[in-house]
Amino acid sequence: MTDVAALAGVSQTTVSLVLNGIAEARVSDETITRVKKAAKSLGYVHAVRRAGNGARHDNGVIGFLVDEISTDPWMAIALDGLREKAAATGLDIMTFVTSGDAEAEATAIRTLGKLNLKGLVYGTIQTRAVTLSNAVMGQQTVLLNCYLADRSVPSVTPGEVVGGRSATQHLIDLGHRRIAIIQGEEWMDASKDRLKGYRQALAAADLGFDERLVRPGNWEPSAGYTQTQELFKLSEPPTAIFCSNDLMALGCLEALKEMGKSIPGDVSVVGYDDREIAQFTHPPLTTVLLPHFEMGVMAAELLLERIDQPGLQPAQLKSECPLVVRASSGKV
C-alpha cells in the first residue's frame, strides 16, 4: 500500500479509502482513477478485498474498547470510520467505554465472546503509550490513537510531527519569519510532536529557533488568549502564530482583535484539529486536520487483515494530517 501511495502521489490513507471503496465522498474522481491505476500497475491486490463480499465475516463482531468518548469528538469520529469499514465486510461494532479499567475490559470481552468476537480495536482519546490488560492482550487487537512502548501490537496514530511541520511550512511559504507557537500541555505526545514539526520546518528554512516565541498552553481558549497577549509584549512580536489546537486559536483570534490587529493582514493564525467551529470563525481558521475518521478506517483494515492472516507482523501506521487552508493565514 505504501508503494501504491508513492506511485500515485497520495497518502496511504487515500489509498486505503479508494481500495476499500469508500472514497467517493472525500476524494476526487481523478485521484481515485490514479490510485487504481497505480495499484494495477504494481499488481497490488487488496487483502481485505480478497475476502469477497464479506460473507466469511458475517454475524461476527468487532469490539471497540475506548477510555473516553464524550469529552471530545475524536473517538466518536473514529468510530464512524471503523463502523463504515466493518459494515462493508459484514461485521458489526460494539462499543464499550472502559476508562482503561482492566476489570471493565475483561467484562466487555466476556460479553463480546458470546457474540462471535473477531477482534478488538482499542482506542484512547489522547495519543499516548498504553499498557494493555491480560484480557485485551489475549485477543486479536489493533490500537487506535495509542501504542505499546515495544510496538508489539499493531497501531494507528496521527502523523503529528508532519502536521506541525506542514502548518509551520505554510507560514514560512507565505513569507513569515517570526513565527510563534502556543503549545498544549508539554508532557503530551501531541504537544511534543507538533513542536518537533515546528522546529523541523524552521531548521529546514534556516530560521533560528527563538525560545521566546514558544509559549506554554493547556489546549483551552484561555491559554491562546493569554499567551497571545504575552507574545505582543516582546520587542519583536511575531507576524504569525501557530496554535497547537483550534480551541487555543479561538482565544488567540480574540486577543488579536482586542489589540486591533488585522487577521491575516497584521498577524496570520493557524490552528490544529479542524474542529467544526474552525470554518465559522472570523476569518475562517487555517488549520491541520486530525484524521480520526481515516484512522478508524485504517484500524479496521489492519484488524481485518490480521483476522485473515494471523501471522502478520504488527504494523505501526501513521495517518496523514493534511493542512486545511482558509482565510486566517496570508502573506506578510
Q: What is the pLDDT of residues 188-200, one digit of tens each?
A: 999 999 999 999 9
Residue 212 three-state SS: helix
Same domain, 201 and 113: no
- At 46 the pLDDT is 58
Domain span at 130: 55-158+291-321
Residue 22's pLDDT is what? 57
Name the grid cell of 173.
Answer: 511559504
Instruction: State which residues of the chain have pLDDT below 70.
Output: 12-13, 20-27, 46-58
Q: Which residues contact 224 (CB under 8 A, 6 or more apart)?
A: 182, 217, 243, 247, 248, 249, 250, 251, 252, 253, 254, 255
In the prediction, which pLDDT does 55 show? 38
Same domain, residue pair 281 and 295: no
- Using CB atoms within 10 Å of the CB of residue 331, give its burial: 0 to 12 exposed, 13 to 18 middle, 19+ buried: exposed
pLDDT at 3: 83
Same domain, 278 and 295: no
pLDDT at 51: 39
Q: Report cis status (omega within 30 of 0) of the bond before 221.
A: no
- How many angstroms separate the CA atoms of 144 and 122, rounded? 6
The one-character DSSP state at 286 is B
pLDDT at 254: 98
Q: How many domains would you assign to the chain? A: 3
Same domain, residue pair 183 and 223:
yes
Does one domain contain both 282 and 202? yes
What's the full length of the chain, in residues?
Answer: 332
Q: Are residues 176 and 146 in the same domain?
A: no
